[in-house]
């Protein structure tokens, strides 16, 4: 699979968001990553459906919505109305299989996310229900953390299991992605790179081009 870039708007200037979206489109990014935090599943609070709905009006890029919220099944219908990829955490307290099935029934591509403390083998049974799996390479809820090398082993294990089953599942990685860690993640099996501060810089086009060249 070709490597895709999904910049996290959590790092963007929200007062200049329309301009930032246009820059991302011009730079050749593949989708937009949106981190939804509820202050319960993770300590921080970010944004919800209203902001994502506004973003959807101002870009044609697919929206990659990452729910870092408690019992996400309660809000699937609301977020499915504004998402293209809709992901939730394995650890968040919802019935995993039923939630993945409901996301697909609502017209979105389901994504299952795991925290650094979760072994990849725990989600092997759910891979046939996923379009994408997100491996967190930092603890969810805070930006600017250092990349955890243990994510590389998880990506490799998931890529091997998908290959064994003949599944074309995208493997996304989020946290500490930059010019040094991105090549390692892609080598381990990542096909979607979430990047925040690395992309939102005065070298946006150059850095997006570099990330996509890792295919």
Q: 31 in helix, strand or coil? A: coil
> Going by C-beta distance under 8 Å and a sequence separation of 6 or more, which residues neighbour residue 92?
41, 67, 68, 69, 70, 71, 72
Is 35 a known active-site residue?
yes
Helix or strand (DSSP H, E) at 212: helix 204-212
Residue 114 near residue 94, CB atoms below 8 Å: no
Strand partners, 110: 86
Q: What are phi and psi of 112, to 5 degrees?
A: -110, 130
What is the number of alpha carbons within 13 Å of residue 154 lying toward its C-beta?
26
> Going by C-beta distance under 8 Å and a sequence separation of 6 or more, which residues neighbour residue 156?
188, 189
- Per the residue annotation, which of 35, 38, 64, 131 is the catalytic one? 35
Compute the distance between CA of residue 130 and CA of residue 68 in angstroms, rounded to an integer. Answer: 17
- Per the residue annotation, which of 13, 131, 174, 202 is the catalytic one? 174
Q: What are phi and psi of 81, to 5 degrees?
A: -70, -15
- Write out the catalytic residue numbers: 35, 174
């Amino acid at each position: 699979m070709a490597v895709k870039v999904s910049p996290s708007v959590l790092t963007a200037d929200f007062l200049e968001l329309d301009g930032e979206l246009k820059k991302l489109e011009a730079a050749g990014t593949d989708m937009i990553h949106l981190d939804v935090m509820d202050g319960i599943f993770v300590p921080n609070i970010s944004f919800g459906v209203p902001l994502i709905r506004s973003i959807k009006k101002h870009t044609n890029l697919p929206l990659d919505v990452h729910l870092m919220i408690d019992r996400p099944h309660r809000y699937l219908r609301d977020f499915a109305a504004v998402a293209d990829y809709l992901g939730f955490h394995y650890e968040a307290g919802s019935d995993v299989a039923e939630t993945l099935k409901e996301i697909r029934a609502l017209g979105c591509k389901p994504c299952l996310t795991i925290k650094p403390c979760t072994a990849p083998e725990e989600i092997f049974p759910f891979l046939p229900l996923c379009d994408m799996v997100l491996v967190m390479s930092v603890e969810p809820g805070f930006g600017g953390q250092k990349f955890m090398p243990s994510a590389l082993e998880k990506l490799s294990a998931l890529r091997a299991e998908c290959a064994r089953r003949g599944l074309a599942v995208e493997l996304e990685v989020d946290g500490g992605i930059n010019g040094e860690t991105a090549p390692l993640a892609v080598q381990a099996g990542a096909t979607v790179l979430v990047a925040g501060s690395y992309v939102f810089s005065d070298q946006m086009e150059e850095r997006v081009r570099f990330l996509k060249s890792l295919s």
